[in-house]
């Protein structure tokens, strides 16, 4: 570990980090913690990030650190490619790239539109591809790319057909990309946290289907202060699949090693929740 580092960086703390989705939630929290590790950061957001840049400058450990934000939608391949190229010219190539941008949609397939589904796939799955395709040609051996997926990349949930499809896709992308990048000396990590109470998730919970909420309760909820350091520790150790809490790790283990049991437990939780909903009881 590098002197003064908070995390167990296998090859030293990153010097330059490219990160998407840093306007709030996981991305913003990661950016601040990485700034405190001494990294310069290039942020890629659809929205303005002046407040985030100010927070990064306040968190910076060294005066030579640089921070910049580039307006680009990860769902737009030419836009994110141009933004990444500009960032490389201005800050240099990254030794760590993190794709954190994402969107949520909760609702059964039969009550969700094709546009709902396509939007989630465009941002979560295609955005992962577009960011990776833009940034990897700029990266050198010894560097690393990490995708912030979800526990929904490992197990299904009622009302999350679009979200699970997108995150299962990100998992497949990362699994295949790992083989490609291993030959180039670049590590790939896949972060699969359970529910984290970010502003996006808190807003979603107000309208979440009760069956979805009951099933998500099995894996529990966490906070940024707990989950982001856990994810960064896994990234620092160059782990491939990373979870954030013991409950999330248990859920992932059950889904992988005892899938029939995991589905039976999920069916039972969903059935009880649906019965309560039918009776109008909480």
Active site residues: 163
Give the span between the Cα atoms of 158 and 149, in whole angstroms: 18
CA dihedral 254, 198, 228, 145 (to 10 degrees): 80
Q: At what angle do helices 77-91 and 127-135 cross, to 10 degrees?
A: 40
3-state secondary structure of 220: coil
41: closest CA among 51, 31, 50, 30? 31
Give the span between the Cα atoms of 29 and 35, in whole angstroms: 10
- Residue pair 65/40 in contact (Cβ under 8 Å)? The answer is yes
Give the span between the Cα atoms of 19 and 47, in whole angstroms: 14
């Amino acid at each position: 570990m590098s002197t003064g580092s908070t995390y167990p960086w296998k090859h030293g703390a990153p010097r330059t980090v490219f990160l998407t989705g840093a306007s709030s939630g996981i991305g913003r929290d990661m950016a601040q913690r990485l700034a405190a590790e001494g990294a310069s950061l290039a942020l890629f957001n659809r929205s303005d990030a002046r407040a985030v840049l100010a927070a990064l400058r306040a968190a910076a450990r060294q005066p030579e650190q640089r921070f910049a934000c580039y307006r680009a939608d990860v769902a737009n391949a030419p836009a994110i490619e141009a933004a990444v190229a500009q960032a490389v010219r201005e800050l240099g190539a990254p030794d760590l790239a993190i794709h954190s941008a994402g969107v949520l949609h909760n609702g059964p397939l039969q009550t969700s539109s094709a546009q709902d589904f396509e939007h989630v796939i465009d941002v979560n799955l295609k955005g992962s591809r577009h960011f990776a395709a833009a940034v990897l040609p700029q990266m050198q051996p010894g560097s690393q790319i990490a995708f912030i997926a979800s526990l929904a990349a490992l197990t299904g949930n009622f009302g999350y057909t679009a979200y699970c499809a997108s995150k299962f896709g990100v998992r497949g992308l990362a699994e295949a990309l790992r083989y490609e990048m291993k030959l180039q000396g670049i590590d790939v990590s896949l972060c699969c946290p359970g529910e984290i109470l970010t502003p996006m998730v808190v807003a979603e919970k107000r309208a979440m289907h009760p069956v979805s909420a009951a099933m998500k309760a099995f894996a529990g909820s966490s906070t940024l202060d707990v989950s982001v350091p856990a994810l960064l520790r896994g990234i620092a150790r160059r782990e491939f699949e990373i979870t954030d809490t013991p409950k999330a790790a248990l859920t992932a283990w059950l889904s992988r090693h005892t899938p029939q049991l995991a589905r039976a437990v999920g069916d039972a939780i969903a059935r009880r929740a649906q019965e309560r909903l039918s009776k109008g009881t909480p």
